[in-house]
Every structure is written in structure tokens, then in C-alpha cells.
Amino acid sequence: MVDVKGRWALVTGGARGIGRLAALFLAERGCNIIVQSRKMTRVSRRL
């Protein structure tokens, strides 16, 4: 696995499904994340 600590990632569709799992996976490994979703209220409640 590539070391992502301190790197940046843009996750589209991050409010649910695979996008949410990807955002959480990267965050747990120290990656800085920008999450994009059509409804930001979903993102702020879930992440």
C-alpha cells in the first residue's frame, strides 16, 4: 500500500456508499481529504 499520510485526496460522492468508505479509509491512514457531495448536509452528519 502506498503511504498516504500527509497527502491530499478529493473524494467525490463522499456522503455514502463507496465514496464514504474511501474517505474514511484514507482519513484513517492520515490523508487530508476534501469531500464532495451533492448534499453537504449528508457529509457533515456522517463524517
User: Does residue 30 fall inside a structural domain?
Assistant: yes
Do residues 26 and 9 touch, judged by C-beta distance below 8 A?
A: yes
pLDDT at 39: 76
Domain count, the chain: 1
Do residues 34 and 10 touch, judged by C-beta distance below 8 A?
A: yes
pLDDT in tens, 2-47: 899 999 999 998 888 999 899 999 999 999 999 888 877 766 665 5
pLDDT at 46: 55
pLDDT at 47: 54
User: Does residue 26 fall inside a structural domain?
Assistant: yes
Longest dimension (CA), the chain: 32
Q: How far is Cα 4 from Cα 27, in angstroms, rounded to an integer?
A: 9
pLDDT at 5: 96
pLDDT at 45: 60
Do residues 44 and 20 touch, judged by C-beta distance below 8 A?
A: no
User: Does residue 3 fall inside a structural domain?
Assistant: no
pTM value is: 0.78
Domain that holds residue 35: 8-46
